């Protein structure tokens, strides 16, 4: 059975210039919704509706990975290959501290 993601994920392509949707996704992500965590990680990774931020992308993707999301694991792996060691260290540190910034 194919896992069906929440509807807001199907709309991501439209969000390039629509930052108002970011907060909707962030609220769900902070509440622990794995699909929203993946979506927010993707949004940060690609700068969709929000300033691109590899550290934040890594953090949100890692939270989705912790819930077993394999798509997030794949995207995080790709992201890691593009990050500098200092960025990775900062992201890991923030994850360990439980912070987002």
Predicted confidence (pLDDT) at residue 13 exceeds the cutoff of 60: no
Give domain limits for the chain. Answer: 20-97
pLDDT of residue 20: 74
14-23: pLDDT as tens digits: 455 567 788 8
**Model confidence, pTM:** 0.82
Q: Could you tell me which residue, 27 or 4, shows the higher pLDDT? A: 27
Predicted confidence (pLDDT) at residue 68 exceeds the cutoff of 80: yes
45-64: pLDDT as tens digits: 988 888 999 999 999 999 99
Tokens 């439980």 label which residue? 98
With cut-offs at 50, 70 and 90, classify the pLDDT of residue 12.
low
Segment among 45-54, 75-84, 85-94 with least mean pLDDT: 45-54
pLDDT of residue 1: 42
Residues 6 or more apart whose CB falls under 8 angstroms from that of 64 comprise: 34, 35, 37, 38, 41, 71, 72
Selection from 19, 14, 71, 18 nearest residue 41 by Cα: 71
Give the separation between CA 37 and CA 61, rounded to whole angstroms: 6
DSSP letter at 17?
G
Give the separation between CA 45 and CA 48, rounded to whole angstroms: 8
For the chain, the first-to-last Cα distance in angstroms comes to 37
């Amino acid at each position: 059975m194919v896992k069906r993601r929440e509807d807001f994920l199907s709309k991501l392509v439209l969000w390039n210039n629509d930052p108002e949707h970011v907060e909707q996704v962030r609220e769900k992500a902070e509440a622990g919704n794995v699909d929203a965590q993946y979506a927010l990680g993707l949004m940060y990774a690609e700068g969709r509706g929000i300033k691109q931020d590899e550290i934040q992308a890594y953090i949100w993707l890692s939270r989705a990975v912790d819930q077993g999301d394999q798509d997030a694991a794949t995207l995080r792996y790709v992201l890691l290959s593009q990050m500098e060691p200092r960025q990775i260290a900062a992201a890991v540190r923030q994850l360990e501290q439980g912070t987002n910034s």
